Structure 1
Amino acid sequence: MDYRQEIREFIGNNLTMDHEDTPINDDDNYFELRFVNSLFAMRLVDFVERRFQIEIGNEDLDLSNFCTINRLQDLIERKLNAKGAAI
């Protein structure tokens, strides 16, 4: 399933004031572009865990998993597939 739109909306709602109206592409690294602040990373992990009912373990807390919409989509799919396989 494709969750990119939900991810885009969450990120769009959490952009820093300077970038509120800036469009983000699915491969844009919003951390490197400084579209978000450091508190955003914690919010993003919380959003992913709650919305998709998955656990983000220490091994997943690599910024490369969270830095673009596409990479976050990939992480969510991996975690959901692993969760489904465990059931």
Structure 2
Amino acid sequence: MSQYLVSSAEGIERTITAFVSKRVGADVPADRDLFESGLVSSLFAMELVVHLEQAFSVQILGDDLKRDSFRSVRAMTDLVLRLNGAGQAADA
């Protein structure tokens, strides 16, 4: 369970892109629709949830578990940034 110390949007996007690209065996542009392109199955979507939670110390619950949150690397980056921001605000 490694945790990435990444807080910038570019760093988060790079980390997610590397994970997805390695997993699907192809370069994946940040804005590619992963579901429409057939790169992500429902099983892999669950792996993405677990990966994001472990890699970025976030909890993905409720409305955040919708397909649109995982549609692209950019969508997942936005989700992580939003959840990290919410966590930091709660700690303040």
Name the TM-score, length of structure 2 as normaliser.
0.83
**Alignment partner of 1:74 out of 66, 75, 78:** 78
Q: Deviations over 1:26-63 (max 9, x none)?
A: 11011110012221001000001111111101110111
Q: Distance in 2 between matches of 1:43 and 1:79?
A: 18
Name the counterpart of 1:9.
18
Higher helix proportion: 2
Alignment length (residue pairs): 82
Task: Supply the RMSD in Å over aligned alpha carbons.
Answer: 1.0
- Which residue does the alignment assign to 1:28? 32
Q: Give 5+ residue unaligned stretches, structure 2.
A: 1-7
With the length of structure 1 as denominator, give the TM-score of the two structures.
0.87
Structure 1 unpaired stretches of 5+: none
Task: Give the fraction of aligned pairs with identical amino acids, expressed as a percent.
Answer: 30
CA contact (8 A) 1:49 1:55 kept: yes
Which of 33, 41, 44 is equivalent to 2:45? Answer: 41
Higher relative contact order (CA 8 A, sep 6+): 2
In the alignment, which residue of structure 2 is the partner of 1:51? Answer: 55
